[in-house]
Amino acid sequence: MNSGKKAEPRRNDIPGRGVRVPGQKLDMKTVKRVLSYLGAYKLRLAAVFACIIISALAGVYGASFLKTLIDDYVKPLMAQENPDLSGLKWEIIKLGIIYACGALASFGMNRLMVTVAQSVLKNIRQTMFARMQRLPVKYFDTHNFGDTMSRYTNDTDTLRQLISQSIPQVVSSLCTVIATFSAMLVASVWLTLFVVVTAFAMMLLVKALGGKSGRYFVKQQQSVGKVNGYIEEMINGQKVIQVFTREAETVEGFDELNSELCGNAAKANIFANVLGPVMNNLGHLQYILIAVLGGVLAIYFPATGLTLGGIMAFLQLSRSFTNPVNQVSQQINAVVMSMAGAKRIFELMDEEPETDDGYVTLVNVRRGEDGGLIECGERTGLWAWKHPHGDGTLTYTELKGDVRMSEVDFGYVPEKIVLHDVTLFAEPGQKVAFVGATGAGKTTITNLINRFYDIADGKIRYDGININKIKKADLRRSLGMVLQDVNLFTGTVMENIRYGRLDATDEECIAAAKLANADSFISVLPDGYQTMLEGDGSGLSQGQRQLLAIARAAVADPPVMILDEATSSIDTRTEAIVSKGMDGLMQGRTVFVIAHRLSTVRNSDVIMVLDKGRIIERGDHARLIAEKGQYYRLYTGAFELD
Amino acid sequence: MIKKLLRSVRDYKGHSIAAPLFICGEVVMEVIIPTLMASLLNYGVKPGDMGYILKMGAAIAGCCIISLFFGVAAGRSAAIASTGFAKNLRHDMFSRIQSYSFRNIDKFSTSSLVTRLTTDVNRLQDAYHMFIRVAVRAPAMLLFSLIMAMRLNLKLSLIFLGAIPVLVVGLYLIMSHAHPVFERIFKTYDKLNRVVQEDLRGIRVVKAFVREDKETEKFDEVSEQIAADTIKAEKILAFNAPLMQMTVYICIMLICWFGAKLIIAGGSGMQEGDLSALLQYTMQILMSLMMLSMIFVMLTMSRASAERICEVLDEESTILSPKEGAVTEVKDGGIVFENVSFAYHPGKDVLHNVNLNIPSGANVGIIGGTGSSKSTLVQLIPRLYEVGEGKVTVGGVDVRDYDLQTLRDSVAMVLQKNVLFSGTIKENLRWGNEDATDEQIKDACVAACADEFISQFPEGYDTYIEQGGSNVSGGQKQRLCIARALLKTPKILILDDSTSAVDTRTDALLRATLAKTAPGMTKLMIAQRISSVQNCDMIIVLDNGYINGIGTHSELLQNNVIYREVYESQVKGGGEE
C-alpha cells in the first residue's frame, strides 16, 4: 500500500474565485484570438454595433436638448404675452421618438449580445474540454490539478465578463464619448478643452489608486493561498486532530493566518473602495468648475456665444463624457485580467494532443468454417487485429495477448531514465507479475504497454504487431486496467460499473460485481445498486472502492488485464475469492499483476523482480525461492519493500 | 439564518455601523449639490453675477470635499467591517468543525467543507460589503433626492411618484422571472465543475476505458444547458436597461414639458436652473432604485452560500463531554464491550451485539475481511463514534462518562487513513506530546522502528515533511504515525492496520519492541496478515459485524473456519514466514 506513487503531488482543491493580479501587459495575439471566436457572429455584431451607435446618439441628443429647450423656446417664449407652445410640443414629441429609438436599440443590443456571448463561451468551453480529452497522460501528470481546474472556473469566468460586459461596455462608452465630444465641441470649444484635460487627470488618478490597490491584492492573494492550504490540510486530517485532541492548537494556528489575511484584504479593499467616492466627487468638482467657467465665459466673453441653455446642456454632456471615460479606465484592469485568463485557456487548447498514427484496429471476429477469421459486429468473445496493408489487402491476426518488450529504455524526462534495457515476454494465458520496491518501474511498464507514455528506445510488440501501429483507442480497449487509486464518478453504483462497458445490461453488471465479490457490500448499501455515489465514492472504504473498480474492469471483459496494486486494500481472504473469480474470467487470457503483497503474486506463472528499472530476476515462485535471490529475501522478510 | 451569521460581526460592529452613517453623510452632500447648482445657474449665470457664481462655486466645492471625506471614511469602514466579518466567520466555522465528532465529519465531505470555508465565505464577504455600502445608500439617496426635488417643485415631483411604481413593478417582474433560472444555472455550474474535476482526477480511468468521447458528451450536455439557461435568463434581464431608460426618458420629457410651461408662464418661482437640478434628481432617484434591485439579486445569490455556512455552524457535535461530573482519570487499560451494536445509517447495523472483555495490558489482534467492521469496533473505544446500543467501558468506566480529552489522551489510535502534517518530523511527533524532549522522541521512534530510517535522512529529525507526508514512503509514514501515538504514553494503543506497508521482518521487530517498551499498555492491533497477530494473547475474528471467534492463534486454527481460511490464503504455496 504505497501512496507515494505519483510523481506529482496533486492538489484537489478548486481555488476560490480570487482576484487576479492586475498589471500584466495586454497580449495582442490573445486579443486577436478571442476576437476570432466572435468573428463567427459578424452579422449580429454589426447589428449590435449599429444599436450601440443609435443608443449613444439618442443619449447625446437628449443631453443637448436642454440648450434647444432653454435658448430656442423657454427664453423667447417667456418674452411673449401669449406664448405658443405647439412648437415646443413637437420638439418634445421628436425627443420622445428619438428616445424610444435609443431604448429600443439598447434593448436590441442586449438581446443580441446575450446570445453571442453565451455561444462564444460555450464554444470555447467545449473546445477546451474536448481538446483536453485528447491530451496525453503526461500532461495530467505534470500539471497541477487545481491549476487546470481553474481554467474552467476562474479563467472562463473572467472571459465571460469580458465578452458579455467589458467589450460591449467599452464599445458603447467609446461611442458615447465620441458622440458627446462632438456635441460638446459644437457647444463650446473652450469648455470642451477643459473637460478633456480634467478627465485625463482623473484617469491618471484612477490608475495610480488602482496600482496601489493592486499591490495589496497580490498580498491578499498570497494570504488566501496560505489560509486555503491550511484549511485543506487540516480538514483532511480532521480525524487525526481529534484522535490527538489538538483542536485548540489547530484553531490557534488558523487564527494567526486568518488575521493576516484579514489585514491584507482590508487594505486591498480600502483602496478599491476609496476609488468610487474619489471619482464621484472629482466628477462633482469638475461639474461646478464647468459651471463657474461657463459663467465666466458667458458673462465676460459673450463672443463665445455661450448661453444659459448652452451651459446647462454642456453640464449634462460633461457627465456623459466623464462617466464613460472613467468606466473605460476601470474596465482596463478587467480586460487585462480576462486576457490573462483567455491566454491560459488557449494554452490548454494548444497543448500537443496525444499522437496516434495507429491504423491497426481491434474487431470482433468469429471463426469461419475453414478456420479463418471473419469480422463481425456482435460480441463474440473472440477478437482480432485488423491490419490494413499498403497494397490494400487486409489481414486479421487473432488477439491472443502475447506481449513482448525488447530492449526498452524509458524515462519520464529525458535526463532521468527509469527503465533500462527491459526485455520481457508474456505468453497468452499467462499471469505475469511485477514485484519490486517503489520507484523500481513496475507501474511504468504498464504505462508503456497501454501507451500512456511512449517508449524512447526499443520495441513493444503485441501479438507480433508493433504497438505503435495499433490505434490507441483499440489498444486500450483490449487492455483492462485496475489501478490502485480508484476513481469513481458521480452516479449510481450501477452506472459506475457500467463505465467499463456502456452497453452492459444490469444483469451483466451485477454478474461482474458478484465476480469481484462486491455484490455483498453493494446489497447492504441504502439503495443497493442504485445508491448514488458522490465525491469519488467518499462513503465507501478503500477496499470497497477497489472491489468496484475490479467489477468495472470485469464488465469490460477485456482480453488482457492489468492489475496495478488492485487489491492492496482488500483483505487476503476476500482477495483470494476475487482472484479466483478473475482467474475464471481471464482463463486463457493474459494478466499483468503488480503487487506489493507477495501473497498476491505468488501463484503467477512468471514473476519479474524489478530493481531500479531493471529486471533482475524472472521465474515462477518456486524457482525464484530456489534461486535464493532478491525475491527470496523479500519473501522471507529480510528486505523491505517500499 | 441572518441572525446567526450576524453573530460573527462582533468586534467589527463599530465599523459596520459607521460605514452606513458615513454613507448617509455622503449622500446628503451629493443630494444638496444639484440644488446649489440650480441656484448658481439661476442667480449667478443667468443675471451674470460673477460674485454669486464664485460664492456658490466655493460652497459646492466645500460640499464636494465633505462628501469626499465621508465617502473615503465609508469605504474604509466598509472594507474593514466586511473583511473582519469574513475573518470571524471563518474562525467560527473552523472552530465549529474542530468540535465535530467523526459522525459529523462523515456527513460533510472534506472538499465540501473546504469550499464552504473558502468560496462560500468569500461570497458572503462580498454580499456583506455590498449590503453595508449600498443597502443604506440606495434608499437614502432615493429619499433625500425625492425630498429635495419636492422642495424645488412639488408639482413636478409628482412625476417621480408616478415613475417609481412603474419601475419597481417592472424590475420586480424581471427579477422574479430571471431569478429561478439563475438559481438553476448556479447548480448547473456546480455540475460542470464536478464533471471536469472527476475527469481530471480519473483521467487514467477515462483513457484506459477509452471513454474520452463519453466524458466530452457529458461535459457538452451540461455546457449546453448552461448556455441555454443563461441566454434565457439574460434575455429577461435585457429588459432591464430599456425599462430603466424609458422611465428616465419619459421623466425627462415630462419635466421638460411641464417645467418649460411653468417657467414660461412664470410666477411659480420655477427657473431654468431648477430644471437642470430636477433632471439630476431624476437620475439619482431612478439609479438608486436600480441599485436596490441589484442588492436584491446579490443577496438572493448569496443565499445558497449562507445556507451552506449555516449548515456548518448549526451542526451540533454528536459527541460531547458530559456536562457535569466528567471522569478525568483513566484507571487502567481494561476494555469491556457489553452488547454493543452500532450503525452508520439507521437500521443498517454494522456491529451486532458485540461482547468483549479485554484485560488491561493485554495484547489483542483483530482480524476480519473487508467490511467486517474492524475499524468501527476500535473507534468506539476512544468514543470517536457513539455506540448505538449497549456500552463500552474503559478502565471500568463507561466511555460516555469520561471527559473527552482525558479519554482520548489515554487511548492512542493510529488510524488506517493516517495523515502527517507539513512540518518537520519532530513537529509532527510532538503532536503526541507537546513537551516531549528530544530523547523521548527518539525513544518513541526506536520503539516504532522509525529511528533507523529517520537517522538516515540528511536532516534527521528536522527533515521537513510535505503536506500529507508525500515525501516519505507508505511504510515510513506508518511508523512515524505509530511513534506519534506512542509519545502520548497511552494506556491503550490501537493500531488500525497500521503496519500494512511495513515489510514482515520490520513488522515482527516492531511488535517485539512494542511489547518490551510498554508492558502495561493494552494493545489492539487490526491486521490483515496472520503473521502480525499470531503471537497475540487474544485474537478476535470479526465477520460482517459479528464476533466469529476469540482465542489464541492455535485455538483459532483449530476451531475457526474463517481464521483457518485466512491463514491458508496467506501461506498457501509453500514458504514459511
- The CATH code of the domain that includes A513 is 3.40.50.300
Task: Give residue A22's pLDDT.
Answer: 42
Of the partner residues A89, A137, A524, the one whose CB lies closest to the CB of residue B348: A524
Rounded Cα distance between B59 and B209, Å, is 77
- HSE, side-chain direction, 13 A CA sphere, residue A506: 4
For the sheet containing B397-398, what is the strand order?
B348-358, B335-345, B389-394, B397-398
The mean pLDDT of B247-263, rounded to a whole number, is: 87
Of the partner residues B30, B272, B573, the one whose CB lies closest to the CB of residue A312: B272
| Cβ–Cβ gap B577/A499 under 8 Å | no
The mean pLDDT of B73-78, rounded to a whole number, is: 93
Task: Give residue A205's pLDDT.
Answer: 82
pLDDT band at A25 (very low <50, low <70, confident <90, very high): low
pLDDT higher for B373 or A46?
A46
Residues of chain A with Cβ-Cβ distance to B216 below 8 Å are 126, 129-130, 133
For domain B1-152+304-318, give the fold. ABC transporter transmembrane region fold (1.20.1560)
pLDDT band at A10 (very low <50, low <70, confident <90, very high): very low
Instruction: For residue A113, give every residue at least 6 positions away whose Cβ sits within 8 Å of its Cβ, in sequence order, or none.
Output: A48, A164, A168
Task: Give residue A26's pLDDT.
Answer: 63
The mean pLDDT of B97-103, rounded to a whole number, is: 86
Helix (H, G, I), strand (E, B) or coil at A52: helix
| Cβ–Cβ gap B44/A295 under 8 Å | yes
On whether residue A472 sits in a domain, the answer given is no
For chain A, report the end-to-end CA distance as a whole number of angstroms: 9
Residue B539 near residue B364, CB atoms below 8 Å: yes
Question: What is the architecture of the domain spanning B335-571?
Answer: 3-Layer(aba) Sandwich (3.40)
On whether residue A619 sits in a domain, the answer given is no
Do A112 and A258 lie in one domain? The reply is yes
Rounded to 10°, the helix B13-39/A247-300 angle is 10
| Alpha helix stretches (DSSP H) within B418-491 | 425-429, 438-447, 451-454, 474-486
Mean pLDDT score of chain A, rounded to an integer?
82
Helix (H, G, I), strand (E, B) or coil at B493: strand
B573 pLDDT above the threshold of 50: no
Q: A281-316: per-residue pLDDT in tens?
A: 888 888 888 888 888 888 888 887 788 888 888 888
Please indicate if any CB of chain B lies within 8 Å of the CB of A294: yes
Nearest CA in chain A to B100: A242
On whether residue A563 sits in a domain, the answer given is no
Closest CA to A49 of A119, A109, A117: A109
A201 pLDDT above the threshold of 70: yes
Min Cα distance A371 → chain B (Å) is 31
Closest CA to B319 of A541, A535, A245: A245
B200 pLDDT above the threshold of 90: no
pLDDT band at A538 (very low <50, low <70, confident <90, very high): low
Do A273 and A389 lie in one domain? The reply is no
Q: A290-299: per-residue pLDDT in tens?
A: 888 888 888 8
A599 pLDDT above the threshold of 80: no
| Cβ–Cβ gap B86/A635 under 8 Å | no
What is the span of the domain harbouring residue A508? 487-557
B169 secondary structure, DSSP code:
H
Do A365 and A504 lie in one domain? The reply is no
Closest CA to A433 of A563, A585, A342: A563
pLDDT band at A505 (very low <50, low <70, confident <90, very high): very high
Q: Report the percent of chain B where pLDDT is more than 90.
A: 29
Task: Give residue A333's pLDDT.
Answer: 67
Per residue, the 3-state secondary structure of B201-214, as one string, reads: HCHHHHHHCCCHHH
Task: Give residue A636's pLDDT.
Answer: 65
Do A377 and A515 lie in one domain? The reply is no
| Cβ–Cβ gap A129/B220 under 8 Å | yes
A466 pLDDT above the threshold of 80: yes
List B343's β-bridge partners, or say none: B349
The mean pLDDT of B135-153, rounded to a whole number, is: 89
Min Cα distance B95 → chain A (Å) is 6
Min Cα distance A280 → chain B (Å) is 8
Min Cα distance A585 → chain B (Å) is 18
Rounded Cα distance between B385 and A467, Å, is 53
| Cβ–Cβ gap A134/B573 under 8 Å | no
Residues of chain A with Cβ-Cβ distance to B574 below 8 Å are 621-622, 625
Residues of chain B with Cβ-Cβ distance to A132 below 8 Å are 199
A12 pLDDT above the threshold of 60: no
Rounded Cα distance between A356 and B343, Å, is 51
Q: Which of A50-64, A73-87, B83-97 has the highest mean pLDDT?
A: B83-97
Please indicate if any CB of chain B lies within 8 Å of the CB of A118: yes
A–B interface: beta-carbon pairs under 8 A: 475
On whether residue A455 sits in a domain, the answer given is no
Question: Which of A131-135, A459-463, A534-538, B93-97 has the lowest average pLDDT?
Answer: A534-538
The mean pLDDT of A352-368, rounded to a whole number, is: 86
Residues of chain A with Cβ-Cβ distance to B456 below 8 Å are none
Q: Report the percent of chain A where pLDDT is more than 90.
A: 12
**CA A139 to each of CA A28, A349, A449, B132, B293: distance values in angstroms, whole numbers, following the listed order:** 27, 12, 18, 46, 46
B364 pLDDT above the threshold of 90: yes
**Which residues of A, range 551-610, sit inside 8 Å of B by Cβ?**
552, 556, 569-576, 596, 599, 602-603
| Cβ–Cβ gap B64/A285 under 8 Å | yes
Task: Give residue A330's pLDDT.
Answer: 67
Which cell numbers hold the place of B394?
A: 474503559
Q: Report the percent of chain A where pLDDT is more than 70.
A: 93
Residue B312 near residue B105, CB atoms below 8 Å: no
Task: Give residue B259's pLDDT.
Answer: 87
| Cβ–Cβ gap B117/A231 under 8 Å | yes
pLDDT band at B324 (very low <50, low <70, confident <90, very high): confident
B93 pLDDT above the threshold of 90: yes
Task: Give residue A438's pLDDT.
Answer: 62
Phi then psi dihedrals of residue B363, to 5 deg: -115, 110
Please indicate if any CB of chain B lies within 8 Å of the CB of A13: yes
Closest CA to B563 of B530, B525, B524: B530
Task: Give residue B577's pLDDT.
Answer: 36
Task: Give residue A637's pLDDT.
Answer: 55
- Say whether pTM exceeds 0.90: no
Paired sense of beta strands A479-482 and A560-564, if any = parallel
Instruction: For residue A203, give every residue at least 6 positions away whose Cβ sits within 8 Å of its Cβ, in sequence order, or none.
Output: A325, A326, A329
| Cβ–Cβ gap A245/B404 under 8 Å | yes
| Cβ–Cβ gap A129/B82 under 8 Å | no
pLDDT band at B313 (very low <50, low <70, confident <90, very high): very high
| Cβ–Cβ gap A255/B405 under 8 Å | no
Q: Which of A174-183, B78-87, B148-157, B188-197 has the highest mean pLDDT?
A: B78-87
pLDDT band at B468 (very low <50, low <70, confident <90, very high): low
On whether residue A443 sits in a domain, the answer given is no
Task: Give residue A310's pLDDT.
Answer: 84
The enclosing domain of A142 has a CATH number of 1.20.1560.10
Q: Write down which residue in A531, A557, A583 finishes a domain.
A: A557
Do A305 and A386 lie in one domain? The reply is no
Task: Give residue B88's pLDDT.
Answer: 95
Q: A65-83: per-residue pLDDT in tens?
A: 888 888 888 888 887 777 7
Rounded to 10°, the helix B504-517/B438-447 angle is 130
On whether residue A510 sits in a domain, the answer given is yes
Which cell numbers hold the place of A127?
A: 473546445
| Cβ–Cβ gap A134/B212 under 8 Å | yes
Which cell numbers hold the place of A367?
A: 471463426
Do A128 and A248 lie in one domain? The reply is yes
Do A189 and A279 lie in one domain? The reply is yes
Rounded Cα distance between B342 and B354, Å, is 9
Instruction: For residue A421, give every residue at least 6 positions away whose Cβ sits within 8 Å of its Cβ, in sequence order, or none.
Output: A407, A408, A409, A458, A614
List A561's β-bridge partners, or say none: A480, A591
Do A230 and A312 lie in one domain? The reply is yes
On whether residue A81 sits in a domain, the answer given is yes
Task: Give residue B87's pLDDT.
Answer: 95
Rounded Cα distance between A262 and B479, Å, is 39
pLDDT band at A642 (very low <50, low <70, confident <90, very high): very low
| Cβ–Cβ gap B253/A92 under 8 Å | yes
A353 secondary structure, DSSP code:
P
Q: Write down which residue in A557, A580, A598 finishes a domain.
A: A557
On whether residue A170 sits in a domain, the answer given is yes
Residue B514 near residue B446, CB atoms below 8 Å: no
Residue B305 near residue B388, CB atoms below 8 Å: no
The mean pLDDT of B512-540, rounded to a whole number, is: 85
Residues of chain A with Cβ-Cβ distance to B528 below 8 Å are 571-572
A354 pLDDT above the threshold of 70: yes
In the numeric block, the cell 420655477 is attached to: B270
What is the DSSP track for B513-575? Answer: HHHHH-TTSEEEEE-S-HHHHTT-SEEEEEETTEEEEEE-HHHHHHH-HHHHHHHHHHHTTS-
pLDDT higher for B439 or B513?
B439
Min Cα distance B140 → chain A (Å) is 16
Of the partner residues B64, B84, B246, the one whose CB lies closest to the CB of residue A284: B64
Residues of chain A with Cβ-Cβ distance to B575 below 8 Å are 602, 621, 625, 635-636
| Cβ–Cβ gap B501/A596 under 8 Å | yes
User: How many CB atoms are located within 10 Å of the residue B82 CB?
Assistant: 29
Do A388 and A319 lie in one domain? The reply is no
Q: Write down which residue in A294, A322, A350 finishes a domain.
A: A350
Please report, for chain B, the start and end positions of each structural domain, with discontinuous segments joined by +. Answer: 1-152+304-318, 154-269, 335-571
Task: Give residue A15's pLDDT.
Answer: 35
Which cell numbers hold the place of B502?
A: 511495513
Nearest CA in chain A to B369: A571
Cα torsion angle, B366, B372, B375, B381, sign: negative
| Cβ–Cβ gap B67/A102 under 8 Å | no
Helix (H, G, I), strand (E, B) or coil at B357: strand
Rounded Cα distance between B174 and B181, Å, is 11
Rounded Cα distance between B160 and A428, Å, is 88
With b for 16 or more beta-carbon neighbours within 10 A and e for fewer, the A182-210 pattern comes to ebbeebbeebbebbeebbeebbebbeebb
Rounded Cα distance between A229 and A233, Å, is 6
The mean pLDDT of B2-19, rounded to a whole number, is: 89
CA dihedral B245, B251, B252, B256 (to 10 degrees): 160
Do A162 and A252 lie in one domain? The reply is yes
B499 pLDDT above the threshold of 80: no
Helix (H, G, I), strand (E, B) or coil at A413: strand
Phi then psi dihedrals of residue A384, to 5 deg: -145, 155
User: How many CB atoms are located within 10 Å of the residue A251 CB?
Assistant: 20
Instruction: For residue A335, give every residue at least 6 positions away whose Cβ sits within 8 Å of its Cβ, in sequence order, or none.
Output: A26, A162, A166, A170
Rounded Cα distance between A601 and A582, Å, is 13
Of the partner residues A2, A543, A638, the one whose CB lies closest to the CB of residue B473: A2
List A374's β-bridge partners, or say none: A366
How many residues are present in chain A? 642
Task: Give residue B233's pLDDT.
Answer: 87
The mean pLDDT of B72-84, rounded to a whole number, is: 93
| Domains: count for chain A | 3
Task: Give residue B291's pLDDT.
Answer: 83
Do A309 and A374 lie in one domain? The reply is no
Do A334 and A379 lie in one domain? The reply is no
| Cβ–Cβ gap A483/B205 under 8 Å | yes
pLDDT band at A139 (very low <50, low <70, confident <90, very high): confident
| Cβ–Cβ gap A66/B276 under 8 Å | yes
ipTM over 0.95: no
pLDDT band at B104 (very low <50, low <70, confident <90, very high): confident
How many residues are present in chain B? 577
